[in-house]
């Protein structure tokens, strides 16, 4: 609905602003790179690169601290989007394709996408443990990503079995309820402070 009425742009820039404000406020923490989603509608705007950089400059945040997540549909929808993503990447942002496997793109299109990280949809993870074909597909997706020098992130990890399997087949990063559920900012800060003190963040 927000994409149809245009409000998604306001929401996208609000989230980016809040993320940058967080990074500025908690500079003393060893906070890892934070990911921010940008919709295809926002990416289609001619001034998207300028507006993104204005927000980062306002909070004195460098692009390397932000990972921009774009759906695979947006990647292939318009050449202007790809041009903007390339410009942002050159400025130092990392670019991720989110929920890979749920959209309309094929593996062959990966060679035309300027990105750094492939985020594999949770359905791939579920199928890999329950189905031989799903297992084979996931293995090959990770192999192809590695051949293209892409970082791989598995979404929706909920069990130790899933985590161990993904480690065995060489997936780089995992995210999901197995690690943590969504939490308020204050709780996240406390967790980061603890991990920073332990040298794990």
Q: What is the CATH number of the domain that holds 91?
A: 3.20.20.450
99 vs 141: which has the higher pLDDT: 141
Considering the entire predicted model, what is its pTM? 0.88
The stretch 18-43 carries a mean pLDDT of: 90
The pLDDT value given to residue 91: 96
Which structural domain range is residue 166 located in?
2-19+32-197
Q: Which residue has the tokens 């410009």?
A: 87
103 vs 158: which has the higher pLDDT: 158
Would you call 20 helix, strand, or coil by DSSP? helix
The confidence band for 108, taking pLDDT boundaries of 50, 70 and 90, is low
81 closest CA partner among 41, 134, 33: 41
Count of structural domains, the chain: 1
Q: What is the DSSP letter of 160?
A: H
Count of all residues that appear for the chain in the document: 201
Decide if 133 is inside a domain: yes
187 vs 128: which has the higher pLDDT: 187
The pLDDT value given to residue 5: 85
């Amino acid at each position: 609905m927000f994409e149809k009425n245009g409000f998604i742009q306001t929401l996208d820039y609000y989230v980016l602003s809040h993320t940058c404000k967080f990074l500025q406020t908690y500079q003393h923490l060893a906070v890892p790179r934070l990911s921010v989603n940008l919709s295809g509608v926002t990416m289609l705007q001619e001034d998207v690169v300028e507006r993104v950089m204005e927000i980062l400059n306002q909070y004195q945040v460098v692009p390397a601290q932000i990972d921009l997540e774009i759906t695979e549909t947006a990647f292939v929808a318009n050449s202007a989007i790809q041009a903007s993503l390339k410009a942002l990447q050159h400025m130092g942002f990392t670019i991720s394709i989110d929920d890979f496997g749920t959209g309309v793109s094929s593996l062959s299109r990966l060679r035309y996408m300027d990105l750094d990280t492939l985020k594999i949809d949770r359905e791939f993870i579920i199928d890999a443990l329950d189905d031989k074909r799903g297992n084979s597909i996931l293995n090959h997706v990770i192999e192809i990503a590695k051949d293209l020098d892409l970082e791989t992130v598995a979404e929706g990890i909920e069990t130790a079995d899933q985590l161990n399997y993904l480690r065995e087949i060489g997936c780089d990063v995992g995210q999901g309820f197995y690690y943590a559920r969504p939490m308020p900012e204050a709780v996240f800060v406390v967790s980061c402070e603890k991990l920073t003190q332990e040298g794990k963040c």
